[in-house]
A and B are shown apart, each in its own frame.
Chain A
Amino acid sequence: MLLSVERINVSYGRARVLSDVSIHVNEGEMVFIVGRNGAGKTTLLKTIAGFLSPEEGTIRFGSDKVNALGPEEMALKGVRYVFQDKRVFTKLTVRENIQLAAYAAGVSLSEAVDKIVQLYPPITRFLESKAGTLSGGQRQILLLGRALIGDPCLLLIDEPTEGLAAGIIEEVFKVLEMTRRKVSMLIVEQNLAVVRRLADRVYAMKEGHIVAEVNTPEDIQNQTLLEEFL
């Protein structure tokens, strides 16, 4: 088991946001979390990424307990977080955005650029442009590509297709499909079409709790089962 979250509780001040949450991700698996707004999906990702600390419970990455690690330490362990808001470093060029990730991962810039170009060849046209000038979809692909530099073990991706046009969702889908099995992924997603096409397992969240685990292909493809949780 690559990631194991065992009965964690997380609060913002006095407000309990996650209660008794347990999930796991195996190596090479693509696991989705679905649920309505406010269910605690993003909080769960942020807690695993080291941005928040659980008050109770345990987070294990491999055999290590990682409850107290910060985001930079989790990143060094091979856990990368792709934010929901698609915010790249807008004042840097696309190349500099890639360089930043390459430097952190100890990978050469050319190797890092090649990796992202393989995922999304049109990016070559924008390498010297400010990342702030990219479209939402291009930014998302840049963020995904940047997260993949240095061969991470686990990607935490928050709503990768939110707010994107249908055409570019397909591009994002292709990137996720290309990296499937090479790296484990825990993805928060509301777009059930994407979930059905990619998921190995699905957790459903409601009001800070895990309310269901859907782990058979038949149930994942079931047209009504997942919709109940949205």
Chain B
Amino acid sequence: MRNNFLEIVRKVDILFIGCAFLLLAPVLTVQRTNDFIIFCIFVLAYNLLYGFMGRLSFGHMLYFGVGAYASALTAEHLSANPFAAIAVALVAGAGTGILLGPITVRTTGACFALINLAFNQVGYFLALIALAKWTGGEDGMAAFFDNIWIFDLGNRYVVFGFSLLCLLLVVYIMKRLTSSSFGILLRTIKENETRAKFLGYNTFRYKLAAFVISTTLSAFAGALSIINYTYVTPSFIDTTRNVEVIFASLIGGSASIYGSLVGGISYMIISNYLPKYIQRWEMFLGVALLLLVFRFRSGLWGYISETVEKYALKGARE
């Protein structure tokens, strides 16, 4: 009975997530909830690598930034159609993944984290200095999009609705992906890659595929943030901001779609509202990280689901 209930909940989770963000919007403001949604897409993309495949990246802002700059440059030089900008951002994200993936996915652990950081640093300086003629350097660049049919970008409710639909689409894709044999294999690579090879898997190909999907979805989040803000600056590709997505993953629980959403929302609430009450709010993040490491190793969502599972098992035994 309990299992049936959980099954039903899982089937309608996308509806539930949609309703949750619709309810958040009047409380947090539409603009801010839109930020939350875009950040959640980024956390989901990040967690495909970190949570499901066990590769911690310190340089994922690169792929977010690539998407952001690609869509802004498209609006500036090619077409002001927002869908064209998103399409170019997706291609740029996938292209960057295909270009860098063969180097990065051969590595593991600290090497994987740092090699991504190195590429992120290169990307940051390209945007800031080397390509400043096109990117606007430190000042960044504005991106103005045409209105397409009912897609009026001047209306923040339309942008919010579009971002929410995009999030629900990404959640659906991630659900399908992580429950498929491909997703199971990624978790296996996380647990023991050598054993996966003995089953006949060329793990390199699967790791590369996961990396490219992750960079593409990160670029998608970057493109959406340009539609939301209508400008891009080097802060969109800044290496120091990688900590945001890492924290969000740890807070929510990395190897879970729901955990990514809980982490994304929790981090955004902390970073948006805590500075109002505590001047050096970043200190709180340090304390939160200590708590997570010592008390909630599987994140908030992981802790909740483990507790529910424990009580369900206890109830079944009684």
Interface residues of A (CB under 8 A from B): 49, 51, 70-72, 75-76, 80-81, 83, 87, 89-92, 96, 99-105, 146
Interface residues of B in 173-196 (CB under 8 A from A): 181, 184-185, 187-188, 191-192, 194-196
CA distance A50 to B237 in the complex (A): 42
Q: B181, B187, B188, B197: which contacts A71 (Cβ < 8 A)?
A: B197
Give the interface segment out of B17-25, B117-125, B135-143, B200-208. Answer: B200-208
Nearest neighbor of A77 in chain B, beta-carbon distance: B200
Which of A76, A83, A91, A92 touches B200 (beta carbons < 8 Å)?
A: A76
Is the pair B197, A103 in contact by a Cβ cutoff of 8 Å? no
The answer to whether B198 has its CB under 8 Å from any CB of chain A is yes
Indicate whether A83 sits within 8 Å of B188 (C-beta atoms), given known contacts A72-B203, A100-B181: no
CB of B205 to closest CB in A, whole Å: 10
Q: Is B27 an interface residue (CB 8 A)?
A: no
The number of residues on chain B lying at the interface, defined by a beta carbon within 8 Å of a beta carbon of chain A, is: 17
Beta-carbon contacts under 8 Å, B188-230 to A: 188, 191-192, 194-203
State A147–B153 Cα separation when bound (angstroms).
56
| B191 adjacent to A104 (CB under 8 Å) | no
Report which of A81, A90, A99, A102 forms a contact with B198, defined as CB distance below 8 A.
A81
Q: Please, which residues of chain A bring their CB within 8 A of the CB of B200?
A: 72, 75-76, 104-105
Contacts of B192 in A (CB 8 A): 87, 89
- Apart from A71-B194, A83-B198, what are 5 other A-B pairs with CB-CB below 8 Å? A71-B197, A81-B198, A87-B195, A92-B184, A101-B199
Cβ contact within 8 Å between B198 and A100 = no
* A100 and B197 contacting across the interface, CB-CB below 8 Å: no
Greatest chain A CB density within 10 A among B188, B192, B198, B203 is at B198
Residue of A71, A83, A101 with most partner-chain B CB within 10 A: A71
Residues of chain B within 8 A of A103, CB atoms compared: 181, 184-185
Pairs A–B under 8 Å by Cβ, sample size 13: A71-B197, A76-B200, A80-B198, A89-B188, A89-B192, A89-B195, A96-B184, A100-B196, A100-B199, A101-B199, A104-B199, A105-B200, A146-B199
Q: Give the 10 A-B CB pairs with smallest separation, nearest first.
A: A75-B200, A103-B181, A104-B200, A71-B197, A72-B197, A104-B199, A71-B198, A76-B200, A96-B184, A81-B198
Contact A72 B202, CB 8 Å, known A87-B195, A89-B195:
yes
Q: How far is the CA of A93 from the CA of B8 in the complex (A)?
A: 20
A92 touches B188 (CB 8 A): yes
* Residues from chain A with Cβ under 8 Å of B203 in the complex: 72
Query: A103–B183 Cα gap in the complex (Å)?
Result: 12
Alpha-carbon separation in the docked complex, A101 to B187 (Å): 14
Neighbouring B residues of A91 by C-beta, 8 Å = 187, 191
Residues of A within 8 A of B181 (CB): 99-100, 102-103
Are the C-beta atoms of B187 and A92 separated by less than 8 Å?
A: yes
Residue ID in chain B nearest A103 by CB atoms: B181
**Complex CA distance for A27 and B185, rounded to whole angstroms:** 31
Please give, as numbers and ranges, the residues of chain B lying within 8 Å of A90 by CB-CB distance: 191
Q: Does B197 lie within 8 Å of A99, measured CB to CB?
A: no
B residues near A96, Cβ cutoff 8 Å: 184
Q: Is the CB of B202 within 8 A of A100?
A: no
Chain B nearest CB, measured from A1 CB (Å)? 23
Task: Report A49 CB to chain B, min CB distance, Å.
Answer: 7
Q: Taking the nearest CB of chain B, how far is it from the CB of A86, in angstroms?
A: 12
Known contacts A89-B191, A89-B192; A75 and B199 CB within 8 A of each other: yes
Which residues of B sit under 8 angstroms from A87, Cβ to Cβ?
192, 195
A37 CB, nearest partner CB in chain B, Å: 22
* Residues of B with C-beta under 8 A to A49: 198
Distance of B234 from chain A, by nearest CB (Å):
39
* Bound-state Cα–Cα, A172 to B197, Å: 24
User: Roughly how many angstroms separate A16 CA and B171 CA in the complex, as a whole number?
Assistant: 53
Contact across chains for B185 and A100 when beta carbons are under 8 A apart:
yes
Chain B residue nearest to A90 (CB atoms) is B191
Please, how many angstroms separate the alpha-carbon atoms of A70 and B181 in the complex? Answer: 22
How near does chain B come to A79, taking the closest CB pair, in angstroms?
9
Complex CA–CA separation, A104 to B181 (angstroms):
9
Known A-B contacts A100-B184, A100-B185; the reply to A70 vs B197 at CB < 8 A is yes
Q: Chain A residues near B197 (CB, 8 Å)? A: 70-72, 75
Task: Report Cα–Cα, A65/B127, bound state, in Å.
Answer: 52
Report how far A103 CA is from B181 CA in the complex, Å.
7
B187 near A83 with CB under 8 A, answer: no
Closest to B255 in A: A91
